[in-house]
C-alpha cells in the first residue's frame, strides 16, 4: 500500500502524479467518465475491501463520487460510483492515526482511508457545491417584461402561430400580473 498521500485538482494531474496500482485506479475512473463530465478533485488513498488494504483513489466530479481500488490478490481494478446529489453520507470511523478512516453511504463493505486533510477537503467540496445545487439558485429569475411579452404574443398571433383566444388569454395573464 502507498505511503504517499496526495490530492489533485484535475484528472491529468493525478495521472501524471501517480504510478503503479494507484495510477490504474485513476485510469479506471478516466475510462468511465461521461462525455462532458468534469473532474474537480482527486485524492490517493487506500480501501479495505474484505480485510485487505489496497491502493485507491477517490475522485469527485461535477456529477458523481468515485472510489476506485486495486485488489492485489485478484489483480483487478474495481470502482464504485455514486451520484453526487443527494450529498452522500460520510461516516468517520475511530482510529487511523495519521489516516482518516471512513465509509461512504452506498459504497458497501469498504472502509476508505485518506489523509485527514484530504477527507476534510472532500467534505468541504461536497458541502460547498451540492447544498447550493439542492437548494437551487439564491436569487429569483428576472421578471418578464410585460411590454415585451405582449409584443411577442401579438407577433405570434399575427404570424398565425396562436389563435385569437390564446392571444387574449395570454394578454389577460400578462395584464393580470401588473
pLDDT at residue 135, as a whole number: 37
Q: Could you tell me the three cell numbers for 42?
A: 482527486
% of the chain at pLDDT higher than 70: 84
Q: What is the pTM of this model?
A: 0.67
pLDDT in tens, 134-176: 333 344 445 667 888 888 888 878 878 788 888 898 888 888 8
Class of domain 7-135 (CATH, top level): mainly beta
Please give the Cα distance from 42 to 65 (Å, whole number).
10
Please give the Cα distance from 145 to 13 (Å, whole number).
47
Residue boundaries of the structural domains of the chain: 7-135, 146-176
- DSSP-H helix ranges across 32-83: none
pLDDT in tens, 43-87: 988 888 767 788 899 999 988 998 988 877 777 888 888 888 777
Amino acid at each position: 500500500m502507498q505511503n504517499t498521500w496526495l490530492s489533485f485538482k484535475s484528472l491529468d494531474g493525478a495521472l501524471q502524479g501517480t504510478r503503479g496500482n494507484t495510477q490504474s485506479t485513476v485510469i479506471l475512473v478516466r475510462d468511465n467518465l461521461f462525455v462532458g463530465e468534469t473532474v474537480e478533485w482527486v485524492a490517493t488513498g487506500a480501501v479495505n475491501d474484505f480485510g485487505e488494504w489496497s491502493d485507491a483513489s477517490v475522485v469527485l466530479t461535477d456529477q458523481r463520487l468515485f472510489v476506485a481500488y486495486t485488489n492485489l490478490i485478484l489483480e483487478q481494478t474495481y470502482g464504485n460510483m455514486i451520484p453526487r446529489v443527494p450529498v452522500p453520507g460520510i461516516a468517520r470511523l475511530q482510529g487511523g492515526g495519521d489516516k482518516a478512516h471512513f465509509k461512504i453511504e452506498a459504497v458497501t463493505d469498504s472502509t476508505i482511508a485518506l489523509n485527514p486533510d484530504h477527507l476534510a477537503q472532500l467534505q468541504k467540496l461536497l458541502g460547498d457545491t451540492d447544498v447550493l445545487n439542492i437548494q437551487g439558485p439564491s436569487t429569483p429569475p428576472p421578471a418578464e417584461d410585460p411590454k415585451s411579452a405582449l409584443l411577442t404574443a401579438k407577433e405570434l398571433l399575427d404570424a398565425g402561430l396562436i389563435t385569437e383566444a390564446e392571444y387574449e388569454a395570454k394578454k389577460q395573464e400578462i395584464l393580470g400580473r401588473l
